[in-house]
């Protein structure tokens, strides 16, 4: 039984996502993706002509998923300040996932950023998008300098992500949330 292209592509991406995120992009070969996806190696290469193409598709998928999960948390909050704090609540939820291995973009950049301009560009684009989201939240909260507050918030967020991986704890999200509250108290006009 032959599966349609969209289904095969989804199976390959799902397998790549799980394996690349758990083990790293360099440690996983196309044979492992084939085995995990159930898609023949020939079909896999028809869908993704090279491992580089598959890594790029994996990062695109991760970017969309991460943005959706973040937006769900932020949009659930109604007050502008609470929307900023919801970013850190999202991080806390994410850090508690059994499969949490840190940021796929930082991980991929660390593995391939110096040898793959495309991976480096995708990582930079992802982080720039996060910075824009934080700037927009800061502006909505009335920050006199939304970009500056966003720069502080991204440092807190990225630091929490990295610290959480090494500490194997979700506690850095709570500490970063507390620091974000202090920053908002110091920089935003009274509510």
How far is residue 191's CA from residue 189's CA, in Å, rounded to a whole number? 6
How far is residue 100's CA from residue 136's CA, in Å, rounded to a whole number? 27
* Residue pLDDT, tens place only, 65-89: 999 999 999 999 999 999 999 999 9
160 close to 171: Cβ distance less than 8 angstroms: no
Instruction: Tell me which fold the domain 1-49 belongs to.
Output: Arc Repressor Mutant, subunit A (1.10.10)
Which class does domain 59-187 fall in? mainly alpha
1, pLDDT greater than 60: no
178, pLDDT greater than 60: yes
CA neighbor of 24 nearest in space, from 95, 99, 104: 104
Residue bearing the bigger pLDDT, 3 or 146: 146
To the nearest 10 degrees (0 to 180), the angle between helices 30-37 and 5-23 is 120
* Residue pLDDT, tens place only, 105-124: 999 999 998 999 999 999 99
* Residue pLDDT, tens place only, 4-60: 899 999 999 999 999 999 999 999 999 999 999 999 999 999 999 999 999 999 999
Q: Give residue limits of the domains in the chain.
A: 1-49, 59-187
135 close to 144: Cβ distance less than 8 angstroms: no
* Residue pLDDT, tens place only, 136-167: 999 999 999 999 999 999 999 999 999 999 99
């Amino acid at each position: 039984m032959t599966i349609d292209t969209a289904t095969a592509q989804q199976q390959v991406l799902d397998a790549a996502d799980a394996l690349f995120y758990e083990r790293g992009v360099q440690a996983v070969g196309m044979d492992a993706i084939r085995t995990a996806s159930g898609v023949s190696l020939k079909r896999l290469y028809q869908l993704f002509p090279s491992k580089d193409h598959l890594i790029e598709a994996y990062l695109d998928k991760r970017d969309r998923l991460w943005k959706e999960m973040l937006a769900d948390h932020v949009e659930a909050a109604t007050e502008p300040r609470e929307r900023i704090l919801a970013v850190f609540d999202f991080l806390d939820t994410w850090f508690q996932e059994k499969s949490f291995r840190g940021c796929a973009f930082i991980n991929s950049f660390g593995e391939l950023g110096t040898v793959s301009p495309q991976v480096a560009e995708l990582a930079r684009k992802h982080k720039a998008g996060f910075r824009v989201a934080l700037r927009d939240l800061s502006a909505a909260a009335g920050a006199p300098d939304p970009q500056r507050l966003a720069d502080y918030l991204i440092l807190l967020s990225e630091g929490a992500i990295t610290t959480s991986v090494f500490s194997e704890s979700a506690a850095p999200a709570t500490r970063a949330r507390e620091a974000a509250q202090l920053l908002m108290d110091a920089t935003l006009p009274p509510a």
